[in-house]
Amino acid sequence: MTHPSPIHDRSPLPLAQKAGPILPRAESSGEVTFAGFVFAAGDPPRSGGLYVLTRRIGEYLYPVLIGEAEDMAGALEQAHCDEPTLAAGLADGAFWMARENPRQRNHILRDLVGKYDPPLNIEFRKGRAAPEIAALATDRAPALLTGEAELGAEPVVVSEADLRLLVRAFYDEALKDPLIGPVFARNVADWDHHFDIVQNFWSRALLGTTRYTGSPFTPHLSLNLKPEFFDRWIELFKTMAERHLQPAAARVAIARVEHMSVCFQAGLFPPKMPVEETTA
């Protein structure tokens, strides 16, 4: 006879559910519930309503994009054309709910976006996207990522020259480090190109430029990283940022790296579901 173990009944929630609404389980069929609203599975019809694009991570479905439209199917087609993340196949589940009243749709949209903070939504956001999904989709609400709201109104003063110095100083130290140095040494073939990519990333993060358009998570999937690597990465980066950036810029950059660490680890090391115990 098989009984669910007490551990199974109290299984840890994914990070997004510790302080937020419950996510639907990936094995749900026919319909799912997001924050009390029931959505049907499958491609939406050409009628008014709301749609949710999700990504399965572990046993749960995470909203990547939530929208409303007079023509749900048309809006979804346009979203796939306009958003590189979706065009690359990030979203792997679509759900819809018919609602002809535009005012009602907008009210529900505000509620859902405010609760789930999908990375591809900008309006109605209240916080950062869940780390599990933010690791996969570049968040389109940069003000929520930089930590400026939390770190005060002190202006962030930084230049491209500062960022260039920071990037090179960090890698000078990182390559000497016995823990993470070998990871960089065996995976970076063209250092000038790598420096440009990393500086473009920080230019987007701190200066709002658009030279960097990719996802920083994807290149790290095949590197066999371990949690302790991220602790050392943050430690080294914090030292270099405080040494080479002005205080306000350093605080924002360090907050960004700490958030990235959480996101990367959530994507690389998803929580394992506990195994049921079997008793005779």
Residue carrying the six token digits 């999904």: 133
- Please answer whether residues 279 and 1 qualify as being in contact, where contact means their C-beta atoms are separated by less than 8 angstroms: yes
Residue 139 pLDDT > 50: yes
> CA-CA distance, 130 to 119, in Å (whole number)?
8
Angstrom distances, CA of residue 84 to CA of 74, 88, 218, 253, 258: 17, 6, 14, 25, 26
Average pLDDT of the chain to the nearest whole number: 83
Q: What is the pLDDT of residue 209?
A: 84
CATH fold for domain 6-134: GIY-YIG endonuclease (3.40.1440)
Domains of the chain, residue spans: 6-134, 142-268
Q: What mean pLDDT comes out for the span 251-257?
A: 88
Q: Specify the DSSP class assigned to residue 135.
A: T
Structure tokens that stand for 215 in this block:
């996802």
pTM of the model: 0.62
> CA-CA distance, 190 to 65, in Å (whole number)?
35
Q: What is the pLDDT of residue 163?
A: 95
Q: What is the pLDDT of residue 213?
A: 76
Q: What is the pLDDT of residue 138?
A: 77
Equal fold, 6-134 vs 142-268: no
**Beta 93-98 vs 60-69: how paired, if at all?**
unpaired
Residue among 104, 88, 36, 34 at smallest CA distance from 66: 34
> CA-CA distance, 144 to 127, in Å (whole number)?
6
Structure tokens that stand for 61 in this block:
């479905």
- Please answer whether residues 55 and 92 qualify as being in contact, where contact means their C-beta atoms are separated by less than 8 angstroms: yes
CATH fold for domain 142-268: Globin-like (1.10.490)
- Please answer whether residues 145 and 263 qualify as being in contact, where contact means their C-beta atoms are separated by less than 8 angstroms: no
Q: What is the pLDDT of residue 52?
A: 95
- Please answer whether residues 105 and 49 qualify as being in contact, where contact means their C-beta atoms are separated by less than 8 angstroms: yes
Helical residues (DSSP H) of 66-209, grouped into ranges: 72-82, 84-87, 102-116, 131-134, 142-146, 148-151, 160-176, 181-187, 191-207
Name which of 56-65, 103-112, 268-277 the model is least confident about: 268-277
Q: What mean pLDDT comes out for the span 225-249?
A: 93
278 Cβ partners below 8 Å, 6+ apart? 2
Q: What is the pLDDT of residue 20?
A: 66
Q: What is the pLDDT of residue 161?
A: 95
